[in-house]
Amino acid sequence: MSAIQNLTTLIRETLNLNDHIDTAAAERSIRNNIEFKGPNAWILAVAVIIASVGLNVNSIPVVIGAMLISPLMGPIFGLGLGLGVSDIQLMKSSGKNLLVMVSISLVVAFLYFLITPLSLSNPTELLARTSPTFYDVLIALFGGFAGILEQCRKDKGTVFSGVAIATALMPPLCTAGYGLACGEFSYFLGALYLFVINCTFIMLATYVGVKYFKFRSTEFQDEAIGKRTKRLTSTLIIICIIPSIWSAFRLIQQNNFEVDATSFVEHRSSYGKSILYDYRIDHKENTTLTLFFTGETLSERDKDELYSVAADYGIKKEYIQIRDYSIEEKSDMNAFKDIYEKKESIISTKEQEIVRLKNELERIKSNELEYDKISKEIFSIKSSLSDVVITKGQSFNRDSTAGNTIIYVLVSSADSLATSEIDELEEWLKIRLDADAVEVRQRPR
C-alpha cells in the first residue's frame, strides 16, 4: 500500500505546476510584446526576407533561422490573453498589431518575389505551406500550449524557439506573398489559411492556459459584446477545423494510394511482351497512376490482366492511365532487343559480384577465431587467470614485404605465471588453433 502511495505522491509532484507558475509576470510579458513598432517592425521585415530567400532556394535551415528571428507570437498570445481575462481593449490592440504584422510580411514577401531573379522550378518548401491539414491544427494547438506554459513558468527556458519552429508562422506569410507576386492565388489562399489555423489555435491554447492557471480576470463590461466575441471565436475555430479535417483525410487517402501503387508496380515489370519501365502518380486534379510501357503493344487480354492485378492492390481501373510506346519497326525491335540484352548483362554482372562478395565473406568468416570458445577453454586450463585478450594480426619484417599471421594472447592473473606455464599455454594454443605463431604475454600487475 505504501508503494502505491509513494507512486501517487511521485506522480503528483512530477505533474504539479502551481509551484512553478507566475501568472502576473506572464501577463506583463505578453502585454509588453504585443506592439509592432520601431525595432520589432524592422526585425520582422528582415526575417521575412531571410525566410523568402530560404523558400526561394529550398533551404530548410535558412527558413528555420528566419522563424527564430521573427517576433510573430506576441499579438497572438495577446488575443488569447484578452479573450481569457475578458479584456476587450487588449484584444483590439492585439488584433490591430496582428494586422500590422501580416501587412508588413505580405508586402515585404511580395516585393522580394517580384524582383528576385531566381526561378522556382520545384518549389517544394513553398508547396508544403499551401495544403494545411488537421495535423497542422494539432501542431498549432499543442505548440500554443507549450508557449503559454513557457510564458507562465518562473524559470524561462528555450521553449519559445521550439514553438516558433514547430508552429511555423513565418513561411505561410512568405508563401502568400509569393502567390500574390506570381499570380498563384491558390498558393496565396492555401498559405493564408495555414497562417489563420496557426494563429487561431495558438490563441485557443493561450485562452485555455489563461483559464486553467486562473489569471486575474474581469467580466466584459457589455455582456452582449462578451457573448458576441466568444461566439465569433467559436465560429472561427469551427471554420478552421472543418476544411483541415477534409485535407487530412485527403492526405491519408493519397498516401495510401501511393503505397498501394508502388507495391503494384513492383509486383510485376511485364505484361505479355510489353515491359513496364516507368510510372507516375499525380494528385493535382484527380488521383491517377500513369504507367509507361514499351515493347509490343498491350493486348486487351494483357490490359485486363493488368487491371485485375491492380484491383488486388486496391487500385481501380479508372485511376489507371496507360502510355503504350510500342515498338513496331524492325529497327526499333532490334534497338529494344539491344537494350534488353544490356539490361540482362548488367544484372548478370551484379549477380556475379554478389556471389564473389558472398564467397569473400565466407572466407573471412572461416579465418576468424572463435574468441568466445577459446577464451572459455583457456580459463578451464588455467583457473587462476582473471582476464584474457586474444587478437590476430600480421607481423612484418623490415627486409620482407610479406606478412606472417601471428596470434597474441594477453593474460591477467592474481599470481604471476611461471615461464614454463606460459610456454605450455603457447604450445597448447598452437595445436588448438593450428597456428605456427602464437605469443602469450602476461599483463603487468
User: Is 140 within a domain?
Assistant: yes
Short-list 243, 73, 40, 64, CA closest to 171? 64
* Amino acid at residue number 134: F
CATH of the domain at 434: 3.30.300
Helix/strand/coil percent split, the chain, to 5: 65, 15, 20
User: Is 250 within a domain?
Assistant: no
Q: How many CB atoms lie within 10 A of CB 210?
A: 26
User: Which pLDDT value is given to residue 129?
Assistant: 59
Contact 72, 174 (CB under 8 A): no
Helix ranges (H only) for 213-322 are 223-267, 300-312
The single residue listed with the C-alpha cell 507495391 is 263
User: Which pLDDT value is given to residue 336?
Assistant: 56
Q: How far is CA 305 from the centre of its chain?
A: 38
Contact 383, 425 (CB under 8 A): no
User: Is 298 within a domain?
Assistant: no
- Cβ neighbors of 344 (< 8 A, separation 6 or more) are none
The C-alpha atoms of residue 49 and residue 164 are separated, in whole angstroms, by: 17
For residue 369, give the 3-state DSSP assignment. coil
Helix ranges (H only) for 313-367 are 330-367
Short-list 117, 135, 261, 119, CA closest to 197? 135
**Dihedral sign computed on CA atoms, order 410, 415, 416, 417:** negative
- Cβ neighbors of 197 (< 8 A, separation 6 or more) are 132, 136, 137, 140, 240, 244
User: Is 153 within a domain?
Assistant: yes
Q: Which of 218, 246, 261 is the last residue of a domain?
A: 218
Cα–Cα separations (whole angstroms), residue 232 to 16, 82, 225: 34, 14, 10
The single residue listed with the C-alpha cell 497542422 is 136
* Amino acid at residue number 84: G
- Output Rg (C-alpha) for the chain, integer angstroms: 35
User: Percent of the chain at pLDDT above 90?
Assistant: 1
Q: Which of 218, 241, 256 is the last residue of a domain?
A: 218
Q: In what order do the strands lie in the sheet with 438-442?
A: 385-396, 403-413, 438-442
Query: What's the burial of 168, exposed, middle or buried (CB within 10 Å: 0-12/13-18/19+)?
Result: buried
Q: What count of Cα atoms within 13 Å lies in the side-chain half-sphere of residue 205?
A: 26
- Cβ neighbors of 112 (< 8 A, separation 6 or more) are 48, 49, 52, 53, 56, 177, 181
Domain that holds residue 423: 371-442
Phi and psi angles of residue 278, each rounded to the nearest 5 degrees, phi first: -165, 165
The C-alpha atoms of residue 95 and residue 90 are separated, in whole angstroms, by: 8
User: Please, what's the b/e burial string for 37-64 (b: 16 or more CB within 10 A of its CB; e: otherwise)?
Assistant: eeebeeebbebbbbbbbbbbeeeeebbb
Q: Which cell numbers hold the place of 371?
A: 574468441
Short-list 140, 171, 156, CA closest to 68? 171
Q: Which cell numbers hold the place of 368?
A: 576468424
Short-list 123, 109, 114, CA closest to 57? 123
**How many domains is the chain partitioned into structurally?**
2
Average pLDDT of the residues of the chain: 77
User: Is 268 within a domain?
Assistant: no
The C-alpha atoms of residue 319 and residue 304 are separated, in whole angstroms, by: 14
Contact 173, 108 (CB under 8 A): no
User: Is 63 within a domain?
Assistant: yes
User: Is 385 within a domain?
Assistant: yes
User: Which pLDDT value is given to residue 219?
Assistant: 58
CATH of the domain at 173: 1.20.1080
The separation between the first and the last C-alpha atoms of the chain, rounded to the nearest angstrom, is 52
The C-alpha atoms of residue 410 and residue 440 are separated, in whole angstroms, by: 6
The C-alpha atoms of residue 200 and residue 98 are separated, in whole angstroms, by: 12
Q: How many CB atoms lie within 10 A of CB 90?
A: 20
Contact 220, 88 (CB under 8 A): yes
Low-confidence ranges of the chain (pLDDT < 50): 329-331
User: Is 258 within a domain?
Assistant: no
Q: Which of 155, 186, 218 is the last residue of a domain?
A: 218
